[in-house]
Amino acid sequence: MEKLTVSETFLLESSETLDQLQISYQTYGELNDEKSNVVWIFHALTGNSDPFEWWPGVVGRGSIIDPSDFFIVCANMLGSCYGSTEPTDFEFPLITIRDQVNAFKLLKEYLKINRIQVGIGGSMGGQQLLEWAVQEPLLFETIVPIATNARHSPWGIAFNETQRMAIENNPEKGLETARAVAMLSYRHFTTYQQTQKDSDNRSDDFSASSYQRYQGQKLSRRFSPFSYYTLSKAMDSHNVARSYHDDMNRALQQIKSKAVIIGIDSDILFPTSEQRFLAESIDNSNFFQLNSIYGHDGFLIEVNQINEILKNEL
């Protein structure tokens, strides 16, 4: 893991500032002489800058995104707790998706990258990718936004606010509750029916109950409640049309990249209607649907289907 420290004051969209901005990142492979083989990967809410860890089968030796072929960049988003500038309490300034993209721009300049062959990311990472592609229409040759949207929905904001309410009451234990709530939006009725249904006639200690507690405790051991709080608010801020008088079609028409847009049939958090809207609004775009019982988390799990799409489209 490497780290870029920015000496200049970093101006946020809220007009507040951060001093000594830090961006943690990892790169894999070599930049070719033409500097034309860059793949920039955007991680999701609680992810990190190591896609080899959280996206095996899509990224890695012998995978579709192989460091033997590409110069792969993945940066830890601003506000996360894996090396970039992060909050330590509730008083941290509001961070937006646009702020996170502006931090990525500083890293791009530092790495002397002028053109990105492929930008790819799911969920919150896909929101950052779309924001950047609107801001710099000629930067990406191809974008692959997965299970994401052009503006965060009231449904998604409601889920996030419910989770923040738990964290406000008790940061440590509240994070466990927040994650348990999030799992209900990340998965699907069918997921639980097939993976957590008890085959006996018990009347307590259900598998689904222990699963929810396990997921909450698992995240609380590795993630900061203040980062979770801050990043969920950043997700809520997402709106690529904010500089276009809320004209979403005009904003998305700025994108000049080829767009490979992927949705998941069982995703209740980012339903496929949101990705279909992207495909209808962005020129030179195609929509593909993953079939999965895993809901929103399908973008991390259905690697064979994703690889098949990428193989044909890239």
Q: What is the dihedral of CA 88, 155, 214, 172, to 10 degrees?
A: 20
Helix (H, G, I), strand (E, B) or coil at 41: strand
Taking alpha carbons only, the member of 303, 291, 310, 313 closest to residue 57 is: 303
Q: How many Cβ atoms sit within 10 Å of the Cβ of residue 55? A: 23
Q: How many Cβ atoms sit within 10 Å of the Cβ of residue 204? A: 5
Q: Tell whether the torsion through CA atoms of 140, 146, 148 and 149 is positive or negative.
A: positive
Taking alpha carbons only, the member of 82, 235, 231 closest to residue 154 is: 235
Q: Which of 24, 267, 285, 297 is catalytic?
A: 267
Strand partners, 5: 22
Examine the residue annotation and report whether 267 is marked as an active-site residue of this protein.
yes
- 67, 39 in Cβ contact below 8 A? no
The span from the CA of 61 to the CA of 56, in Å, is 9
Examine the residue annotation and report whether 123 is marked as an active-site residue of this protein.
yes
Q: Which of 123, 185, 220, 227 is catalytic?
A: 123
Q: Which of 80, 257, 296, 297 is catalytic?
A: 296
Examine the residue annotation and report whether 238 is marked as an active-site residue of this protein.
no
The span from the CA of 37 to the CA of 113, in Å, is 10
The span from the CA of 239 to the CA of 248, in Å, is 8
Strand partners, 239: 151
Active site residues: 123, 267, 296
